[in-house]
Structure 1
Amino acid sequence: MRIVLAPDSFKGTVEASVVAEVWAEGWSRARPGDEVVCVPLADGGEGTLDAVARAVPGAVRVPVGPVPGPDGRPVDGAWLRLPDGTGVVELAAVSGLPLMAAPDPTGAHTAGLGVVVGTALRAGVSALVVAVGGSASTDGGTGALAALGTRFHDSDGRELPYGGGPLARLAGIDTSGLAAPPPGGVQILTDVTNPLLGPTGAAAVFGPQKGATPADIAVLDAALARLAALLGGSPSAPGAGAAGGTAYGLATAWNASIVPGALRVAELAGLPDALVGADLVITGEGRFDATSAQGKVVGTVLDLVHHGAGVPVALIAGSIAAPLPPGVPTAIDLTALSGSSTEARTNPTHWLREAATRLAGEVRPTAAT
């Protein structure tokens, strides 16, 4: 049988490539004669670069060296060159929330992302894919755009410091020095559909995750509104609020397109081709809940399978907090399997391997006709 392993990362515990490897070990322990294909995935957030690097033959990771992290401390940057000349950049790797020494909702920024993107542009990429999930900031992407040559200044002509808070003093924007996008254009990968502003916008919904108080949220939302009034574009577009408005900033300044991250990563990783001839697909994530089918990896895998290959799908998750969707007859909850969430998190690879072994012993997949 042909078994396709297409997990998301178990966020905060195990990255997707390791999940796939451990599942492969567990499955092969019970059924060594099966063909097992690993296609680790991501939704446009943390782990996107690793997932694409693992899945695309000939992909080359290009180190950038120290770049400004979201709080100004240096972090190591990198981007991925695909064989067709496309460059892939991951915001979370250089401007992500876990890189903060302490929360700074009004001062955190995306300058490091801009430095990495600029390096990829100078290397001559034909197109650019920017995964924007997991950001630490609510700066509308102004840090990245500033690093790429845009000037954001106050009424006295002084350049504003990085961060979303200073945008409250924004009086003018000079894009004359902004680096041009690559000839093949720019895609922004995200797993959210929030607009830039208002009660469902970047500051209100995602600000609290970044340490924002109600007062901070009011300041940031007003600052983003000021940015939108001067920069233009479509602040109400679905996904514009992704990554603290970084999706809005890049979409407006570069006419970049905002696309579902999990689907684009699946395409880059070759999942549609891997599904051809499959007898069973195994997918999973840290927590399966009511949002899992809404632009996340698991939902994307289910859509691709059910609209194309039509093969059975099994789910392995750290915890299962929602009814299983149609087409998923089998699931394993690692918390239940291990006896507690603490044990599942303490020894994740053991229980991931054990879950795959149990599936291999219990499931008798048959390809759809």
Structure 2
Amino acid sequence: MTRILLAPDKFKGTLTAAQVAGHLAEGIAQVRPDIEVSIVPVADGGDGLLVAAASVGFERVELTAAGPLGEPVETAYVTRDEGREAVVEMAEICGLALLPRDDLAPMTATSLGLGQAIAHALDHGAQKVLVGIGGSASTDGGSGMAQALGVRLLDGDGEQVGLGGAGLADLASVDRSGAHPGLEQARITFACDVDNPLTGRHGAAAVYGPQKGASEEQVEELDGYLAGLADVVSEAAGEDVRETSGAGAAGGVGYAALALLGAQLRPGAEVVLELTGFHDALPGADLVITGEGSLDEQTLHGKAPAAVADAAREAGIPVVAVAGRLQLDEEALSGAGFETAYAIADLATEPEESFTRPGPLLQDVGRRIAAALPQPAGPDPDAQE
């Protein structure tokens, strides 16, 4: 029997990864009901991480934490194994999507709520915590997160500095003596899909600050504040990790994870494939289907579909990509391990249809993929009974 493994990421703004897979599976079944379909939704550490975790048995834990402006918001993370394993998603708590588009607060947005959620998980017995830091609103060097976990970032008068990147202007010293004890006891992994250093022209402020509403002048200010944070922390710790790959992730949350929390940074897609059991589901598959909303150059740099394609190619299994829109040529697709690709935008009868009716279009893609597969062998008419 032919077996297809569906491992898509979300189509951002329209469908979750599980919904994408469900529509594809429905279309495949309409043409080839004999095909066995397995579904493993994936993500890359940004929004969608909790949904992927829920697909393998994690359950929501509700809490109140600080939103991107420090205001209380009702939010959640997920756990399993009686709370011993937790997954926290920054985008869910204090992400950029929670701010109005016309007021992104680049200087004052904070990662405080992320630290509060991690602390909540540790307080309730988490021994293993995965933190997805995509979709952040802040460029505060992870200072808010660290403060929520008991790290004191002090000004010249010995008072805690204010929230947001602008608060770092007053930073004079750091004190880790009151850090949450769970930081030493638990294994904490931060999942990110970028490799930027903390500062400089490839750093958190320069590359991602404009996306978070920062002007040229504010980018320069924020980069200086992040450099000041690194100067103070490295002097106290005797080690400077500001140039480490991923330190600039989520406005410097990656840096704080390394320098202040003693956590580990890992590529988000790689971690999520492990979390969702993709590698266990892969053996025996005849075809893997993956994809995301926009298949483009960013996909090739650590996004989930590229990680899925890499793993499948290593196992000798062909991979088909499905996207909302396709911005890679055949050479790039082939080089990334995709045998072919479908874009629902190409099937739409009007431009908005891929956003308003993605489900039926994905079912159409599923039918097309199934129709292109070799037909099962029928009985041999010359066979002897």
Correspondence for 1:207 among 201, 209, 217: 209
Is 1:188 the counterpart of 2:194? The answer is: no
Aligned partners of 1:306 and 1:237: how far apart in 2? 29
Correspondence for 1:306 among 313, 317, 327: 313
Residue in 1 that maps onto 2:352? 342
Correspondence for 2:250 among 200, 224, 243: 243
Please say if residues 313 and 319 of structure 2, whose CA atoms lie closer than 8 Å, have aligned partners that are also in contact.
Answer: no
Correspondence for 1:331 among 317, 341, 349: 341
Aligned partners of 2:291 and 2:278: how far apart in 1? 15
How far off is 1:333 after superposition? 1.3
Residue in 2 that maps onto 1:149? 150
Aligned partners of 2:224 and 2:372: how far apart in 1? 55
1:286 is paired with a residue of what secondary structure?
strand
Is 1:114 the counterpart of 2:115? The answer is: yes
How far off is 1:183 after superposition? 2.6
1:292 is paired with a residue of what secondary structure?
helix
Higher mean displacement: 157-166 or 241-250: 157-166
Residue in 2 that maps onto 1:134? 135
Aligned partners of 1:341 and 1:191: how far apart in 2? 30
Aligned partners of 1:182 and 1:82: how far apart in 2? 21
1:258 is paired with a residue of what secondary structure?
strand
Residue in 2 that maps onto 1:287? 294
Letter in 1 for 2:322: I
Higher mean displacement: 326-335 or 247-256: 326-335
Correspondence for 2:362 among 349, 352, 362: 352
Letter in 2 for 1:83: D
Please say if residues 114 and 147 of structure 1, whose CA atoms lie closer than 8 Å, have aligned partners that are also in contact.
Answer: yes
Please say if residues 128 and 182 of structure 1, whose CA atoms lie closer than 8 Å, have aligned partners that are also in contact.
Answer: no
How far off is 1:261 after superposition? 0.3
1:291 is paired with a residue of what secondary structure?
helix
Aligned partners of 1:21 and 1:281: how far apart in 2? 14
Residue in 2 that maps onto 1:71? 69
Residue in 2 that maps onto 1:274? 281
Residue in 1 that maps onto 2:78? 80
Question: Structure 1 residues 314, 175: closer, same or farther in 2, change over 3 A?
Answer: same
Runs of 4+ in 1 over 4 A off after TM superposition: none
Please say if residues 110 and 163 of structure 2, whose CA atoms lie closer than 8 Å, have aligned partners that are also in contact.
Answer: yes
How far off is 1:330 after superposition? 2.3
How far off is 1:298 after superposition? 1.1
Larger Rg: 2
Aligned partners of 1:365 and 1:134: how far apart in 2? 43
How far off is 1:38 after superposition? 0.9
1:67 is paired with a residue of what secondary structure?
strand
Please say if residues 127 and 183 of structure 1, whose CA atoms lie closer than 8 Å, have aligned partners that are also in contact.
Answer: no
Letter in 2 for 1:149: G
2:22 is paired with a residue of what secondary structure?
helix
Could you tell me which runs of 5 or more consecutive residues in structure 1 were left unpaired when the two chains were aligned: none
Aligned partners of 2:279 and 2:150: how far apart in 1? 38
Question: Structure 1 residues 230, 264: closer, same or farther in 2, change over 3 A?
Answer: same
Letter in 2 for 1:364: P
Aligned partners of 1:302 and 1:342: how far apart in 2? 29
Alpha-carbon deviations, 1:25-67, whole Å to 9, x = none?
221122222211111111000010110111x24x222222x21
Letter in 1 for 2:81: P
Please say if residues 119 and 149 of structure 2, whose CA atoms lie closer than 8 Å, have aligned partners that are also in contact.
Answer: yes
Aligned partners of 1:197 and 1:341: how far apart in 2? 40
Please say if residues 127 and 182 of structure 1, whose CA atoms lie closer than 8 Å, have aligned partners that are also in contact.
Answer: no
Letter in 1 for 2:214: A
Is 1:177 the counterpart of 2:187? The answer is: no
Letter in 1 for 2:98: L
TM-score of the pair, normalised by structure 1 = 0.94
Aligned partners of 1:62 and 1:182: how far apart in 2? 23
Aligned partners of 1:322 and 1:337: how far apart in 2? 17
How far off is 1:158 after superposition? 2.6
Is 1:363 the counterpart of 2:379? The answer is: no
Aligned partners of 1:169 and 1:333: how far apart in 2? 50
Please say if residues 206 and 244 of structure 1, whose CA atoms lie closer than 8 Å, have aligned partners that are also in contact.
Answer: yes
Residue in 1 that maps onto 2:88? 89
How far off is 1:112 after superposition? 0.8
Aligned partners of 2:233 and 2:351: how far apart in 1? 46
Identity of aligned residues (%): 43
Aligned partners of 2:13 and 2:59: how far apart in 1? 26
Letter in 1 for 2:368: R
Aligned partners of 1:20 and 1:83: how far apart in 2? 26
- Across the two proteins, how many residue pairs are aligned to each other? 362
Alpha-carbon deviations, 1:323-343, whole Å to 9, x = none?
222442222111111144422
2:61 is paired with a residue of what secondary structure?
strand
How far off is 1:365 after superposition? 8.9
Please say if residues 198 and 221 of structure 1, whose CA atoms lie closer than 8 Å, have aligned partners that are also in contact.
Answer: yes
Aligned partners of 1:83 and 1:160: how far apart in 2? 37
Residue in 1 that maps onto 2:379? none
